[in-house]
Structure 1
Amino acid sequence: MTGPRVVVVTGASGGVGRACAEAFGRRGDKVALVARGSKGLDAAAKTIEACGGTALAVPADVAHADEVEGVAERVEAELGPIDVWVNAAFTSVFAPFDRVEPDEFRRVVEVDLLGYVYGTMAALARMKRRNRGAIVQVGSALAYRGIPLQTAYCAAKHGIQGFTEALRCELLHEGSAVRTTMVQLPAVNTPQFSWVLSRLPRQAQPVAPIYQPEVAAKAVLYAADHPKRREYWVGGSTVGTLIANAVAPGLLDRYLARTGFKSQQTDQPRDPRQPANLWEPADDESGHDFGAHGQFDEDDPKYRSPQLWASQHHGVLALAGAAVAATAAVVRMRMR
């Protein structure tokens, strides 16, 4: 299609969702920003409008189907037919499983899995009538490989993967021109480590190598433009983890049991005043705008991903890159 597209991004107040929303806006799309927190939504909308784009902030909790449906209705009424829907909203709990309460686990699944389901339902109902549109699910290497201290988040990401695969088969069976795809992300420098509920003794951190949110946004924009691929992989750690898990899952279990606790925490104690966005947004009226970046800029996160390029240019290069990453991952595990 020509002209600006209408794009909905959930989780647009911070992190990857924020970076995606601003990237769509900078290239001239009409962007609907969906999240609970007002500070982040307002700041993202101002950034898009300052670049000459069109932004519509729509406060909503994606864990409630009626609110998500209301988002879709408002967007189509004010911006026009939805061309792209990006599901990126999430929350989490950093804690051993036996320290997670039942209602906390349920809340993570409601936001991280059912929020994607409800967003897809709202988008698909409209896109199928027009027989066009793209739905992008922001996933993770943890959609294939669970790690300690993030049981609820891993469960949700695995669920998104299965749900999306099943839906993709149905759309192919129908011959529909509506496409759905996933972008599997590595560790990203986002504010999540400063605002999710944590019961860890030390400050939570992403596991290196760390990528900046702009890398994830670039992948999401490419996936929205080329949704025929079932998924896109970002980062060598993602590719290596996926293949190492397929080749030697038992070995990877033991490796993560030894390293997964320490590698997800810094040497600094967790700030007891850290907000927790599980039930309320961290950027509400009493909070502040967290932006797209987290607190790990000084760790020199990556701004480029050769694996994303290989994923975009699939073929011999993609296979070669995956093989190298898998071999390196297995070698590192055995050396430890």
Structure 2
Amino acid sequence: MQLKPISQQVVAIVGASSGIGREAALQFAQRGAKVVVAARSQPGLDSLVEEIQRAGGDAIAVVADVADMQQMQAIADKAVERYGRLDTWVHAAATGVLARFEQITPEEFQRVIDVNLMGQVYGAKAALPYLRREGRGALIHISSMEGRRSLPLQSPYCASKHALQGMLESLRVELQHEGIPISVTSVLPSVINTPYYNKVKTKLGVKPTGIPPYYDPRLVVDAILYVAEHPTRDFIVGDVGRVLDVAQRISPPLIDAVLTVVGIPGQHTTEPESEASPDNVFAPIAADQGLDRVDGDFGNLVIPSVSDWFAMRSPFAWGAVAGTVAVGALALLANGMFNNSQQP
């Protein structure tokens, strides 16, 4: 299976107003791709298109809610109407509710499923006919390591990401059976420093956080750019994610025991936040909140990742560095989970 060089691609990016999606749009455009960006935030999309065009790139925006199939279809249709084809679909939109399972209402749970799972389903359905028409292409779905190992306080998010993994596995095999050269990739980031934790709904009484350490969103974008040219089944981003994946396969009860101690306090900061604070679960957050940006608030907790570099260069490299990475990453994970005093 051979994918086009990025410079020759038409790329649709869903969830592009902030975080991973925004940086991905900027990087695709910088490399010469024609870009269609989509999200619910009109101001966020407008500023993104302006930034791309100011740098000499080619981009258009489509305002859309991923939980609506017709609006997802409109993104794909607009890409083909404007540029004549669609080569790559990148789906990064997500939301969440951080609370104990019993505190989350059925409506909130359903909404997270609608956005994080059904939005990805609708996106794939909208893009696939156009990719088939081209005879090749890439579906790139941003999942999460929480699709491999669930965390407490994030039951709807984890449920949606586990279900997404199942959907992609089914779709991938169906396309392979037909001999259709469409790459289906699941990108599984570890904890990433985006505005996600500024936007989700919290019932913790404080601003939520991922369990440190964090990774730079540009690492995820590097992975997206890589799989847009190199057909890849799964791509884990972050050393800790790779170690967690191995540990979960070896002993889920061990991870249960660790998370019983650190999983809940590790997702609390000391910064008070009301349940009534603005969130993006049912509607986008107002532009004046300043959240249409790439980076989140935890830059002081960001660390580098060694294994990503190897993963993009040799399929055997992870085995060669696993021991070193495992020791270092587990130490960092333990230190981060037990020491949140540095967080805002």
TM-score by length of 1: 0.93
User: Which residue is equivalent to 2:163?
Assistant: 159
Structure 2 match to 1:296: 298
Distance of 2:254 and 2:262 partners within structure 1 = 12
* Cα deviation, residue 194, structure 1: 0.9
The whole-number CA distance in structure 2 between the counterparts of 1:281 and 1:330 is: 36
Q: Which deviations, in whole Å up to 9, do the C-alpha atoms of 1:94-132 show, x marking residues without a partner?
A: 111100000110100111011111111111111112211
Residues 210 and 267 in structure 2, CA contact (< 8 A), matched pair in contact too:
yes
- 2:317 is aligned to 317
Query: 1:258 is aligned with what amino acid?
Result: V
Provide the C-alpha distance between the structure 1 equivalents of 2:329 and 2:66, rounded to a whole number of angstroms: 36
Distance in 2 of aligned mates of 1:326 and 1:173:
36
Contact 2:215 2:302 in 1 (8 A): yes
Structure 1 contact 28–52 (Cα < 8 Å) conserved: no
- Residue 259 (structure 1) aligned with residue 297 (structure 2): no
Query: In the TM superposition, what whole-angstrom CA distance separates every residue of 1:42-77 from its partner, at most 9, and x where no partner exists?
Result: 111111111110111100001111111111111110
Which residue number corresponds to residue 41 of structure 2?
A: 37
2:308 partner letter:
L
How far apart are the structure 2 equivalents of 1:23 and 1:85? Answer: 15
Pairing of 1:12-23 with structure 2 (within 5 A): 12-23=16-27
RMSD: 1.9
Contact 1:243 1:326 in 2 (8 A): no
Mean Cα deviation higher: 11-20 or 287-296? 287-296
Alignment-mate amino acid for residue 19 of structure 2: G
- 1:112 to 2:116 alignment: yes
CA distance in 2, matches of 1:240, 1:256: 15
In the alignment of these two chains, the number of paired residues is 330
- In 2: Cα distance, 1:221 partner to 1:329 partner: 25
How has the CA–CA distance of structure 1 residues 202 and 287 changed in structure 2, closer, same or farther, with 3 Å as cutoff?
Answer: closer
The offset of 1:6, in angstroms, is 0.6
Q: Which of 271, 274, 277 is residue 268 of structure 1 equivalent to?
A: 271
Structure-2 residue corresponding to 1:230? 233
Which residue, out of 247, 255, 260, partners 1:244?
247
Q: Does 1:277 align with 2:280?
A: yes
**SS state at 2:143 partner:** strand
1:125 aligned partner: 129
State the identity as a percent: 35
TM-score, reference length from structure 2: 0.91
Deviation track 1:15-37 (CA, whole Å, cap 9, x = no partner) reads 11111111111112111111001
Asked whether 1:75 is paired with 2:79, we answer: yes
Distance in 2 of aligned mates of 1:51 and 1:157: 35
Residues in 2 aligned to 1:270 and 1:307: alpha-carbon distance in whole angstroms: 36
Structure 1 unmatched ranges of 5 or more? none
Alignment of 1:1-12 (within 5 A): 1=4, 3-12=7-16
Which residue of the partner structure matches residue 192 of structure 2?
A: 188
Matched residue SS, 1:210:
coil
- Helix, strand or coil at the partner of 1:277: coil
* Partner secondary structure for residue 179 of structure 1: strand
Tell me how far 1:260 sits from its aligned partner.
0.6
Q: Any conservation in 2 of the 1:283–1:290 contact (CA below 8 Å)?
A: no
Q: Is the 8 A contact 2:199 2:279 kept in 1?
A: yes
The answer to whether the Cα contact below 8 Å between 2:239 and 2:329 also exists between their aligned partners in 1 is no
Preserved CA contact (<8 Å) 2:10 2:85: yes
- What is the Cα deviation at residue 179 of structure 1? 1.0
1: CA distance, partners of 2:315 / 2:279: 43
In the alignment, residue 230 of structure 2 is paired with which amino acid? H
